[in-house]
Amino acid sequence: DTGVSQNPRHKITKRGQNVTFRCDPISEHNRLYWYRQTLGQGPEFLTYFQNEAQLEKSRLLSDRFSAERPKGSFSTLEIQRTEQGDSAMYLCASSPEGGSSYNEQFFGPGTRLTVL
């Protein structure tokens, strides 16, 4: 399968713990995005990378959240000191620089976080 993959698919943690999610984009895509989706809502943008550079961050991305894409390939999203309000589906998407699929974002299956 050459789509966007995310791990883990599910994560249950206790409030105050740190969690880290991984996203592997489609191999030739140099753009990578993180979104958060809560029940009954559409995805909300968190951050965007072009290659290894983090070019955009939403105000939703508090200082407890950090994202990296060290070699311009996979990305990690870390949440420190988790809160119950962090419970959501975290979606990763990637897109190519150009070509016919330019502007389309291809989404992974998501990581569902539950904070107890």
Partner 1 sequence: AQSVAQPEDQVNVAEGNPLTVKCTYSVSGNPYLFWYVQYPNRGLQFLLKYITGDNLVKGSYGFEAEFNKSQTSFHLKKPSALVSDSALYFCAVRDIDQAGTALIFGKGTTLSVSS
Residue 108 binds to partner 1 (criterion: CB under 8 A): yes
C-alpha span between 42 and 51 (Å, rounded): 26
Among 23, 25, 36, 43, binds partner 1 (CB under 8 A): 43
SS3 per residue for 41-67:
CCCEEEEEEECCEEEEECCCCCCCEEE
Q: 4, 25 in Cβ contact below 8 A? A: yes
Q: Indicate the residue type of 42.
A: G
Site map 87..106 versus partner 1, x via CB under 8 A: ----x-x-x-------xxxx
Cβ atoms within 10 Å, residue 78:
13
The first and second tokens of residue 73, run together, are 């390939």
Kindly tell me which residue out of 44, 78, 83, 97 binds partner 1, with binding defined by CB under 8 A.
44
The least CB distance from residue 47 to partner 1, in Å, is 9
Site for partner 1 in 47-66 (CB under 8 A): 48, 56, 58
Using CB under 8 A, list all residues that contact partner 1: 4, 31, 33, 40-45, 48, 56, 58, 91, 93, 95, 103-110
